Amino acid sequence: MSVAFAGNSTTGLSREAGPLRVMVVDDSVVIRGLISRWIGAEHDMEVAASLRTGLEAVNQIERINPDVAVLDIEMPELDGISALPQLLAKKRDLVIIMASTLTRRNAEISFKALSLGAADYIPKPESTRETSAADTFHHDLIQKIRHLGARLRRKPAVVSPPLAPASSAARAPAVVRPAAPAPALHALSSGPLTTRPFSTQAPKVLLIGSSTGGPQALMALVTELGPVIDRVPVLITQHMPPTFTTILAEHLARSSRKPAAEAIDGEPVKPGRIYLAPGGKHMRVVRSGAEAAIALDDGPAVNFCKPAVDPLFTSAIDIWHGNILSVILTGMGSDGMRGGKDIVAAGGSVIAQDEASSVVWGMPGAAANAGICAAILPLNQIGAKVNRLFAGDRS
């Protein structure tokens, strides 16, 4: 397939000028054509180039000057994981979305890509002839390009900023103002964000919801939560497909040095463990005799997600009532906000990650703007705050 160029590639142009420029890099002519058509149909993005190999992308990146690259993993001459650092070396603020089929090897490579600076990943369907799979791929890819590209245009810094050491003395102010104007995509309020008091009830469980940027955020957060994990169960819903959640659970176990695994239907919920919702299944908690147990279901997507955060948050109220602390991390959409409202109404508390440290401030932003948060904090301050709350702090 010939290389197609669109728009002016002069590096001096502002990111605000014109639609998002997307470079598609995949050795499959079918996938390149499909993605290019989808991008071309959007009013706010355009195909900057359609390339077959990572080597072509590296050699032409400065001339093409894209905002976003959709980068396949398996390609001839130079594969995606090898091309990734070379592309970022030539264009530091390039948003790279890795694309791969759902295999364990590709899931491992995708996690490695995130550690090397990729903004996100997306699983490709085994066959584009499967309508539902192709529709999901289409929807998710366009949303990732749009949201990650919007963040790039708001902030000239690297898409995934390095994490600073946690500060145990940091506290959230009563009123928090966003560090930068939020895009209309989030429908955020123009005024200051207000917080509410933390619950006076001692938390007995920690619930965490996350999406885009979540794997990096989760692995950073759980390294600080050892004392909490020893005391209470930790349940996590990360928007992620099967196989990828298996790998994420292994990474969480290594990062936290605590038992972490995909949740199993019917297993009891105990302190000292991290339970991760498996890809493709909603995770809820139910009462089983005198204790809590995991309940997985294969029902329809919630908030366009499966697993979704809201089912976990809402179900936990029947078990722990107001003794719940929930954390909403970086991610697209508003999943977790409605469940967070239910938790607050029951007497529990919600912490949201702040905009500056979020890859996408959709989920935490929705919670913050709904007025349900007791704190809106940078990622590197959330762990310390959670530890203090479980140690008895109520402020």
Query: What pLDDT shows up at residue 111?
Result: 93
- Domains, the chain, ordered by start: 20-154 (3.40.50.2300), 193-390 (3.40.50.180)
What confidence category does residue 155 fall into, taking pLDDT thresholds of 50, 70 and 90?
low
Residues ≥6 apart with Cβ < 8 Å to 190: none
Cβ count within 10 A of residue 86: 15
DSSP for 185-232 reads: GGT--SSPEE--PPPSSPP-EEEEEE-TTHHHHHHHHHTT-HHHHHHS
Closest to 352 in 3D by CA, of 334, 220, 233 = 334
Interval 159-188 mean pLDDT: 36
Interval 191-195 mean pLDDT: 84
Torsion of CA 277, 280, 285, 286, to 10 degrees: -150
Interval 286-308 mean pLDDT: 94
What confidence category does residue 150 fall into, taking pLDDT thresholds of 50, 70 and 90?
confident
Tell me the per-residue pLDDT of 5-53, one tens digit each, with 9 for 90 and over: 333 333 333 455 689 999 999 999 999 999 999 999 999 999 999 999 9
Residue whose token pair is 């702040």: 354
- Distance of alpha carbon 46 from alpha carbon 62, whole angstroms: 17
Tell me the per-residue pLDDT of 366-385, one tens digit each, with 9 for 90 and over: 999 999 999 999 999 999 99
Query: What pLDDT shows up at residue 11?
Result: 35
Query: What pLDDT shows up at residue 2?
Result: 34
Note the residue count of the chain: 395
Q: At what angle do helices 54-64 and 80-90 cross, to 10 degrees?
A: 20
The residues that are catalytic are: 211, 239, 335
- Distance of alpha carbon 236 from alpha carbon 116, whole angstroms: 24
Query: What pLDDT shows up at residue 130?
Result: 66
Query: What pLDDT shows up at residue 129?
Result: 65
Indicate the DSSP class of residue 331.
B
Strand blocks (E) in 52-163: 68-72, 95-101, 120-124
> Is the predicted pLDDT of residue 91 greater than 90, yes or no?
yes
pTM value is 0.85
Taking CA atoms, 209 is separated from 13, 35, 351, 361, in Å, by 37, 29, 11, 13
Query: What pLDDT shows up at residue 32?
Result: 94
Q: Are 373 and 342 in contact (CB under 8 A)?
A: no
Residue whose token pair is 């759980």: 222
What confidence category does residue 127 fall into, taking pLDDT thresholds of 50, 70 and 90?
low
- Distance of alpha carbon 268 from alpha carbon 295, whole angstroms: 10
* Run of H or E residues at 15: none
Q: Are 246 and 104 in contact (CB under 8 A)?
A: yes
